[in-house]
Structure 1
Amino acid sequence: MLKCDPQTYKDLELGKLQDILREYCVGPSALKIVEQLKPVQNNEELMKFLQQTNEMVEIRREGESFPRLEFEELQSEIRMLPVQNASLPQESFARIRLASAMVNSLLFFFNKRELDFPQLAELLSNVEFTKEIIEKIDFIFDKHGKVKDDASPDLLYVRQQMQSIKRSIHSTFDKSMRKYFKKGYLSDTKEGYFDDRRVLSVLSSYKRDVVGQVVGNSKSGNVTFVEPGETVPLNKELEQLKDDERKEIFLILQKLTFEMLAYLPLIKDYQQVLTKLDFINAKCRLALLLDANLPAINENKAFDLIDCFHPLLKMNNDSLGKKTIPQRITMDENSRMLVISGPNAGGKSITLKTVGLLQLMLQCGLLVPLHPNSKMCFFDELLTDIGDNQSIVDELSTYSYRLKRMRHFLNVANENSLLLLDEFGTGSDPDLGGALAEVFFETLYDRKSYGVITTHYSNIKLKADKLPEAINGCMLFDTETLNPLFKFSMGQPGSSFTFEVAQINGIPKKLINRAKAKLDSKKVEMDQLLHELQKEKSYLNRLTKEHILAQETADKHRQYYEVTKEKYDRKLASLQNKAEETNKLVSLGNKLQHYIDEYKVGAKKKNVNDPLLQDLKKYIAKEKSKTEEAKQEIRLKKQANKKSAKPNKVVNEYQQDKIKIGSKVKLIATKQTGDVEEIKGGDVTVLLGFARMKVKLAQLIWVSN
Structure 2
Amino acid sequence: MPDRALQVLEFGRVLEFVAGFASTAAGREMVRGLRPSSSTKAVRARLNAVAETVRFLEPRGDWGLPAVPDARSDVARLEVEGSVLPAAGLARLGGLLAAGHALDRALNEGADGLPVLEDLRTRLLVHPRLQASIERSVDPDGTVLDGASRELGRIRARLRGAHNRVVQHLEGLLTGIDERYRVPEASVSIREGRYVIPVRREGRRVVGGYVHDESSSGATVFVEPPSAIEEMNRVRELERAEVREVRRILRELTERSRSLARELAGSHAALTLMDARVALARAGARWEGTVPEVTESLAETGAGGGICIRRGRHPLLATGGTEAVPFDLELDARQRVVVVTGPNTGGKTVFLKSVGLIASLAQSGVVPPVGPGTRIPAFDSFYADVGDEQSIADSLSTFSAHLRNLQDVLLNAGPRSLVLIDEPGAGTDPREGEALARALIETLVERGGLAVVTSHMGGLKRLAAPGNGIVNASLEFDGDRLAPTYRFATGRPGRSYGLAIARGLGFPNEVLNLADGYRDRAEARLDDLLETLQRKERRVSRLLDALENERRRARDLEAELATREAVLRRSEREAAARARREARRMLLEARREVEAAITGLQDRERDGVSEREAARRARRTVEEAARALEDPAPDGAGPPRDAGGPDAPELEAGAAVRMSDTGAEGTVLEVEGDRVAVLVGGVRMRVPRSRLG
- Do these two structures clear the TM 0.5 threshold for a shared fold by scoring above it? yes
- Secondary structure of 1:464's aligned partner: coil
TM-aligned CA distance change 1:31 to 1:620, over 3 Å: closer
Kindly provide the amino acid, as one letter, of the partner of residue 194 in structure 1: R
- Secondary structure of 1:525's aligned partner: helix
1:223-272 superposed Cα distances (whole Å, 9 cap, x missing partner)? 43322221123223322332233233223322332232222221221232
State whether residues 59 and 66 of structure 1, in contact with CA within 8 Å, keep that contact through their aligned partners in structure 2.
no
- CA–CA distance in structure 1, aligned partners of residues 292 and 151 of structure 2: 64
- CA–CA distance in structure 2, aligned partners of residues 494 and 252 of structure 1: 76
TM-aligned CA distance change 1:558 to 1:257, over 3 Å: closer
Q: TM-score under structure 1 normalisation?
A: 0.76
TM-superposed CA distance for 1:288, in Å, is 4.1
| Residues 453-492 of structure 1 mapped to structure 2, 5 A cutoff | 453-492=453-492
| Residues 337-416 of structure 1 mapped to structure 2, 5 A cutoff | 337-416=337-416
- CA–CA distance in structure 2, aligned partners of residues 504 and 11 of structure 1: 33
- CA–CA distance in structure 2, aligned partners of residues 413 and 251 of structure 1: 63
- Secondary structure of 1:488's aligned partner: strand
Give the total of aligned pairs. Answer: 609
Is 1:302 the counterpart of 2:299? The answer is: no
- CA–CA distance in structure 2, aligned partners of residues 416 and 467 of structure 1: 20
Structure 1: any 5+ residue segments left out of the alignment?
582-606, 638-705
| Residues 22-37 of structure 1 mapped to structure 2, 5 A cutoff | 22-25=19-22, 29-37=26-34
Task: Name the residue aligned to 1:630.
Answer: 628
State whether residues 187 and 202 of structure 1, in contact with CA within 8 Å, keep that contact through their aligned partners in structure 2.
no
Kindly provide the amino acid, as one letter, of the partner of residue 448 in structure 2: K
Give the one of 227, 230, 240 matched to 1:243. 240
Is 1:133 the counterpart of 2:130? The answer is: yes
1:492-535 superposed Cα distances (whole Å, 9 cap, x missing partner)? 21111222222222223332111010112111111111111111
Kindly provide the amino acid, as one letter, of the partner of residue 37 in structure 2: V
Kindly provide the amino acid, as one letter, of the partner of residue 232 in structure 2: N
State whether residues 201 and 218 of structure 2, in contact with CA within 8 Å, keep that contact through their aligned partners in structure 1.
yes
Task: Name the residue aligned to 1:430.
Answer: 430
Q: TM-score under structure 2 normalisation?
A: 0.78
TM-aligned CA distance change 1:508 to 1:54, over 3 Å: farther
**Bigger mean CA offset, 356-365 vs 506-515:** 506-515
Give the one of 57, 71, 74 matched to 2:54. 57
Kindly provide the amino acid, as one letter, of the partner of residue 502 in structure 1: A
- CA–CA distance in structure 2, aligned partners of residues 556 and 449 of structure 1: 48
- Secondary structure of 1:291's aligned partner: coil
Kindly provide the amino acid, as one letter, of the partner of residue 624 in structure 2: K
State whether residues 180 and 186 of structure 1, in contact with CA within 8 Å, keep that contact through their aligned partners in structure 2.
no
State whether residues 215 and 226 of structure 1, in contact with CA within 8 Å, keep that contact through their aligned partners in structure 2.
yes
State whether residues 39 and 363 of structure 1, in contact with CA within 8 Å, keep that contact through their aligned partners in structure 2.
yes
Kindly provide the amino acid, as one letter, of the partner of residue 234 in structure 2: E
Kindly provide the amino acid, as one letter, of the partner of residue 376 in structure 1: I
- Secondary structure of 1:111's aligned partner: helix
- CA–CA distance in structure 2, aligned partners of residues 79 and 577 of structure 1: 78
**Bigger mean CA offset, 548-557 vs 154-163:** 154-163
Larger Rg: 2
TM-superposed CA distance for 1:621, in Å, is 4.7
State whether residues 190 and 202 of structure 1, in contact with CA within 8 Å, keep that contact through their aligned partners in structure 2.
no
**Bigger mean CA offset, 499-508 vs 125-134:** 125-134
Task: Name the residue aligned to 1:227.
Answer: 224
TM-superposed CA distance for 1:346, in Å, is 0.8
| Residues 100-115 of structure 1 mapped to structure 2, 5 A cutoff | 100-115=97-112
TM-aligned CA distance change 1:114 to 1:277, over 3 Å: closer
Give the one of 71, 92, 98 matched to 1:74. 71
TM-superposed CA distance for 1:65, in Å, is 7.5
Task: Name the residue aligned to 2:210.
Answer: 213
Superposition RMSD in Å: 3.8
TM-aligned CA distance change 1:48 to 1:175, over 3 Å: same
- CA–CA distance in structure 1, aligned partners of residues 509 and 449 of structure 2: 43
State whether residues 343 and 501 of structure 1, in contact with CA within 8 Å, keep that contact through their aligned partners in structure 2.
no
Kindly provide the amino acid, as one letter, of the partner of residue 258 in structure 1: E
- CA–CA distance in structure 2, aligned partners of residues 189 and 169 of structure 1: 16
State whether residues 21 and 286 of structure 1, in contact with CA within 8 Å, keep that contact through their aligned partners in structure 2.
yes
TM-aligned CA distance change 1:217 to 1:23, over 3 Å: farther
TM-superposed CA distance for 1:442, in Å, is 1.8
TM-aligned CA distance change 1:61 to 1:524, over 3 Å: same
- CA–CA distance in structure 1, aligned partners of residues 252 and 560 of structure 2: 81
Task: Name the residue aligned to 1:314.
Answer: 318
- CA–CA distance in structure 1, aligned partners of residues 580 and 77 of structure 2: 96
* Identity level (%): 24
Is 1:547 the counterpart of 2:547? The answer is: yes
Task: Name the residue aligned to 1:7.
Answer: 4
**Bigger mean CA offset, 622-631 vs 508-517:** 622-631
Kindly provide the amino acid, as one letter, of the partner of residue 517 in structure 2: A
- CA–CA distance in structure 2, aligned partners of residues 60 and 54 of structure 1: 10
- CA–CA distance in structure 1, aligned partners of residues 121 and 573 of structure 2: 66
Task: Name the residue aligned to 2:666.
Answer: none
Task: Name the residue aligned to 1:122.
Answer: 119
Task: Name the residue aligned to 2:86.
Answer: 89
Kindly provide the amino acid, as one letter, of the partner of residue 375 in structure 1: R
Give the one of 183, 189, 192 matched to 2:189. 192
- Secondary structure of 1:189's aligned partner: coil
TM-superposed CA distance for 1:474, in Å, is 1.4
- CA–CA distance in structure 2, aligned partners of residues 351 and 428 of structure 1: 24
1:374-426 superposed Cα distances (whole Å, 9 cap, x missing partner)? 33332222211211223233333333333333333233333322221212332
- CA–CA distance in structure 1, aligned partners of residues 442 and 509 of structure 2: 38
State whether residues 333 and 469 of structure 1, in contact with CA within 8 Å, keep that contact through their aligned partners in structure 2.
no
TM-aligned CA distance change 1:193 to 1:48, over 3 Å: same
Task: Name the residue aligned to 1:510.
Answer: 510
Kindly provide the amino acid, as one letter, of the partner of residue 370 in structure 2: L
TM-superposed CA distance for 1:12, in Å, is 0.3
TM-aligned CA distance change 1:183 to 1:398, over 3 Å: closer
- Secondary structure of 1:516's aligned partner: helix
TM-superposed CA distance for 1:139, in Å, is 5.7
